[in-house]
Structure 1
Amino acid sequence: MIELPLVSCIMPTANRQKYIPFAIQYFLAQDYPNAELVIIDDGKEPAYSLIPDNPKIKYFYSEPIGTIGIKRNKACEKAEGEFIMHWDDDDWYAPDWISRQVEAQNKSGADITGLNQVIFYSPSIEKRWMYMDTDQEKPWLCGATMAYRKYFWEKHPFIDIQVGEDYDFVWNSGAKIFAMDYIHGFVAILHAHNTSIKPVENPKHKKQAVGWKEPTQETES
């Protein structure tokens, strides 16, 4: 049997003890067997007690590192996989998310794959939205859904900024991008401490309310 390539899911985090167990749970539920979760934590208190003893999970704690861009670079440095995938600590990923991303990477020939249509959910107000990219000049991919090969990151590391490092990675790297159609494979959770740009704050993209059904493992063609 041919061994599947190693996938490194990178998860920068800080002071997110409330969310970390769920992020780990979603990772361990993946049907893709050859993956690792690389957690970079520079919060006030380490989250050691929340990290299970599992060889697939690599946890690194340190004093404050800097911006999200720098933390992503640190995580990519620690990653041993051929593929790198973003794994946000406060979002939901379907159990076949990694498998679908690897398939998209291999079939599309793109440098970066991800979603340009994203379901956002706000638990505090129990509202859900579909976030849609309509910009033809500067196509967008959701940072929390990005995947790319490690060698591409080595040529185009993230810049040292706290918000928008993922936009820069797409727009200024000269990357060929591919938008997956697996919109029910990921749900972005909105809360008071998001570091990414919320859909209502970014006028560049069109957002429209849509009907909702609970995310499932069903694929879309």
Structure 2
Amino acid sequence: MEPTSAPACPLVSVIIPCYNHGVYLPEAFASVWQQDYPAVEIIVVDDGSTDTTRQVAQAYPGVSYFYQPNQGLSAARNTGIAHSAGQYLLFLDADDWLLPGALATNVQYLQQQPDLAFVSGGHDKVFVTTGVVRPEAQEVRADHYQQLLQGNYIGMHAAVLYQRWAFEELRYDVTLRACEDYDVYLRLARAHPVAHHTQRIAAYRLHGANMSGNIPLMLRTVLAVLQRQAPHLRSPAEHAALARGQAIWRAYYGGELYRKLQTTPGTAAELRLLATLYPKLFLRTILPSNATMLKQLLKKCIPNAGLRLLHQTGIYGGYQPAIGQVALGDFGRLTPFSANFGYSRGGPVDRYYIEQFLQREAPAIRGRVLEIGDNAYTLQFGQGVTQSDVLHIDADSPGATFIGDLSDAPHIPDNLFDCIVLTQTLHLIYEYKQALATCHRLLKPGGTLLLTVPGITPIDAGAWGDTWYWSFTDKALRRLLADTFPSQTLEIGSHGNVFVASAFLYGMGVAEVTPSQLDVYDPQYQVINTVKAVKAPLDARPA
């Protein structure tokens, strides 16, 4: 008996959830039946409508109609999945429609690449009040999960065609009042290959009843959906993408809300949201023509809260909270936001200073270079590197060219390296003075040590916690390094301030702190200290 081959045109189930949008259904049906793809079923899930949805849907013999009490969009889509028979699934909102060639285009992608969980395309935005049609088609060729962490590049659900098997492992989350499609994209793209193209698949009708007009709900939900991905991130790049995505969504909805409030009175929720996201825009919105009057009003009526708001917006710089009136906000907690130095929120704050230092001193990372642990920074910043070596204490470490303890490494020859990159390691070595002496011995005359050490810092909760011995101030480094390197060749740098130190201790990600905040230095709050130390050339040594 010969095996049965797959059908040339697998069935596509077009699932249309509908809540009081019966008037739009005939246009949606017509857009499906006008496709040049022959194997289609239409399923309408009436989510407790009180309009003509039932009568309209049942008037078309080619439509399967199912009713449920109102439970929301996610539940309606799940009901549609349960009643569908197609190998491929498409979700079309009742007030939208498919463009010509939509099904054939997306089916071809899934047939050619059956391991894809879904394929998505572009779409048209149709603005009902103005009649304007705006094409939306963003090109994304790779790293789809990482790209989705930074924003919903798909933008419209009907532009997506799913494999049926994708819903064998998940369903739409009925607890989400919005962004349930974005949640599904992220969950599937995290676990399976997906694809995207720029051919426009569907039309998205924008009118006053769209849920996307509820900006506080949309922002609150999209940030919650993104945060669900935090435990599943696998790399620093993904952590950074999540942090960028959170910032991008805040900026997007903050801008949308500000534009809306220029012409429409805001609700209390909208005004609170704008004040949180963009205090300056909030002030312009509630009193756009007289900032002086606003300042006097706030000082007179609500001195502490008013001056605090003016301080947050940059209008008034001399604010100090009264005793007992400090507003801790998100810092009013006994546990950090991240217990892994901020890696789960986009990367550690201190990496900003370390990488700025290495970028500035990149010309010294040349010739034969030794880095401790791995050679990531050598590869990233090196200029004219002829040989990259790695010293690691673990004999099983991949990529290590030398094994041993930096404080006692007699097997490594003298005067071997043009540069040693020693970042965030000295504090883990109990005999740190011997380690610095080893660095001096291993450098060629005229060679450079690039060193960074923690000042104010959390302590690692993992393996490094057992050997986390020290922190160093800039003054301590100057005295320590003077024992081995000529003082005139030492360049000591120090970085941090009270806000950055607090942000680092609480586990905020580097993307959550602005360069203008990071670049302010207060010597009382040293987060990272850096050293450039040059070994004296032969002709400069004492006889």
2:197 alignment counterpart: 180
Q: Is the CA contact (8 Å cut-off) linking 1:85 and 1:148 kept in structure 2? A: yes
Give distance in 2, aligned partners of 1:194 and 1:104.
Answer: 30
Query: Bigger relative contact order, structure 1 or 2, given CA contacts below 8 A and separation 6+?
Result: 1
Written as runs of structure 1 = structure 2, the 5 A alignment for 1:1-221 is 2-42=7-47, 43-45=49-51, 47-51=53-57, 52-54=59-61, 56-64=62-70, 66-108=71-113, 109-115=115-121, 117-131=122-136, 136=147, 138=149, 140=152, 141=154, 142-160=156-174, 161-173=176-188, 174=190, 175-183=192-200, 185-196=201-212, 204=249
Q: How big is the shift at 1:20?
A: 0.9
Q: Decide whether aligned partners of structure 1 residues 29 and 131 sit closer, same or farther in structure 2, where only a CA change above 3 A counts.
A: closer
Structure 1 residues 3 and 106, CA, compared in 2 at 3 Å: closer, same or farther?
A: closer
User: 1:112: Cα distance to partner?
Assistant: 1.4
Per the alignment, in what secondary structure is the counterpart of residue 152 of structure 1?
Answer: helix
Distance 1:101 1:94 in 2: 12
Runs of 5+ consecutive residues of structure 1 not aligned to the other structure: 207-221
**One-letter code aligned to 1:159:** D
Task: Give the C-alpha shift of residue 87 in structure 1.
Answer: 1.5
User: Normalising by structure 2, what TM-score?
Assistant: 0.34
Offset, 1:180: 2.1
Given the two structures, how large is their TM-score scaled by the length of structure 1? Answer: 0.79
- Closer/same/farther in 2, CA of residues 103 and 186 from structure 1, 3 Å limit: same
Q: Aligned-pair distance for 1:197?
A: 6.9
Structure 1, residues 147-187: CA drift from partner, whole Å, max 9, x if none?
1111211202111122100100011232422112212x322
- 1:194 corresponds to which letter in structure 2? N
CA contact (8 A) 2:45 2:66 kept: yes
**CA 1:127–1:95 in structure 2 vs 1: closer, same or farther (change >3 Å)?**
closer
The AA in structure 1 aligned to 2:103 is: I
Q: Secondary structure at the match of 2:95?
A: coil
Q: How far off is 1:196 after superposition?
A: 4.8
1:46 and 1:61 in contact (8 A); partners too: no
What's the C-alpha RMSD, in Å, of the aligned pairs? 2.8
- Which structure has the highest strand share of the two? 1
Higher helix share: 2
SS at match of 1:73: helix
Runs of 5+ unmatched residues, structure 2: 141-145, 220-247, 253-543
Distance apart, 1:191 and its partner CA: 0.7
How many residues get paired? 201
Given that residues 163 and 197 in structure 1 are in contact (C-alpha distance below 8 angstroms), is that contact kept between their aligned partners in structure 2?
no
* Higher radius of gyration, 1 or 2: 2
